[in-house]
Amino acid sequence: MSHTSNPVFARIAGTGSYLPQQVLSNDDLVKRGVETSDEWITSRTGIRQRHIAAEGELTSDLALQASLRALEAAGVAAEDIDLIVVGTTTPDLIFPSTATILQHKLGVAGCMAFDVNAACSGFIYALTVADKFIRSGAAGTVLVVGAETLTRMLDWNDRNTCVLFGDGAGAVVLKADHETGILSTHMHADGGKKDLLWNPVGVSAGFKVDEHNAGVRVQMAGNDVFKYAVKALDSVVDEALVANGLDKSALDWLVPHQANLRIIEATARRLDMPMERVIVTVDRHGNTSSGSVPLALDEAVRSGKVQHGQLLLLEAFGGGFAWGSVLLRY
């Protein structure tokens, strides 16, 4: 790519998403023997159902379907991609990266490809990295994906976590553009909160499971995470507005991470945004971690809600803790 004196933005040229076929309702969870109820899950989280990847259906398979749709919407051929970044905390394998597996499934080779693990903020982090590559001139066309099979690491006997998550993927194609696109990105992390939301096994820490860790599973102190998430998201949306010298009334859409409807509503209140201007998918998707923001974005684009030229604020919060925002003109 040649450098010019005009500022280069990373513009979203196309979006895509994919949800596995199998749907698990709240009542299905009760039927499976989880000590919960549709009333509890709906009133505390807003979740009514979630999608579950089929046996043998991997994170890269979900990513592939979402990517093909995003490439088609952008009118971009896989051969033209300079960089693939996949936000995921449930990679197909320890290595190689899911991005390289996705690259191969797309039938191409040679371009840069790597994963970003920022738990539920994986897509926001991946989008931020992609934005930097485009702004620096190091890439002109980037495929950014958020894809997860989080249900693979749930303990179905732990009602504190198993009712919350689902599987899915979303993708965007970013292209260098002189007119408009991503206006700002802000990322944060606080590693001191690791134990509040984590999966405590791994390569270096060891896969050995003791009496407290019954398996390779997500563990969460939900209420603590909830409080921290609301505060961090309040602060990150303020930060994005201040950095751009914008009043909250300038925003057309909030595209939030879909963990809990009550968290989403709290952020909307902070921004004085009516829920009609907030994209909500948590009721049908549950929390798909890195998949949630691009899934919501794709749904908003394809339903015709989000229009060219509108101002969108994307945000996410999750394990690490890691959180962040992306402000963009669509």
Binding site for ligand UT7 (CB under 6 A): 36, 40-41, 44-45, 120, 159-160, 163, 222-223, 225-226, 229, 259-260, 263, 287, 317-318
* 8 Å CB contact between 78 and 71: yes
Nearer Cβ to ligand UT7, position 10 or 119?
119
What is the nearest approach in angstroms of ligand UT7 to the Cβ of residue 95? 25
Which tokens sit at 257? 């991470």
Nearer Cβ to ligand UT7, position 30 or 243?
30
Tokens 């797309």 locate to: 106
What is the nearest approach in angstroms of ligand UT7 to the Cβ of residue 152? 16
* 8 Å CB contact between 232 and 186: no
Nearer Cβ to ligand UT7, position 40 or 156?
40
Which residue in 66, 134, 63 sits closest to 100, CA to CA? Answer: 63
The H or E element spanning position 223 is helix 222-243
* 8 Å CB contact between 236 and 243: no
Nearer Cβ to ligand UT7, position 107 or 192?
192
Which tokens sit at 103? 């690259």
| Gap between the terminal Cα atoms of the chain | 23
Contacts of 317 (CB under 8 A, 6+ apart): 120, 121, 228, 229, 232, 233, 257, 259, 263, 323
Residues classed as catalytic? 120, 257, 287
What is the nearest approach in angstroms of ligand UT7 to the Cβ of residue 125? 14
What is the nearest approach in angstroms of ligand UT7 to the Cβ of residue 229? 4
Closest residue (Cβ) to ligand UT7? 222
Nearer Cβ to ligand UT7, position 44 or 305?
44
Contacts of 170 (CB under 8 A, 6+ apart): 15, 16, 17, 18, 66, 123, 145, 146, 147, 291, 292, 293, 294, 295, 296, 297, 298
What is the nearest approach in angstroms of ligand UT7 to the Cβ of residue 330? 24
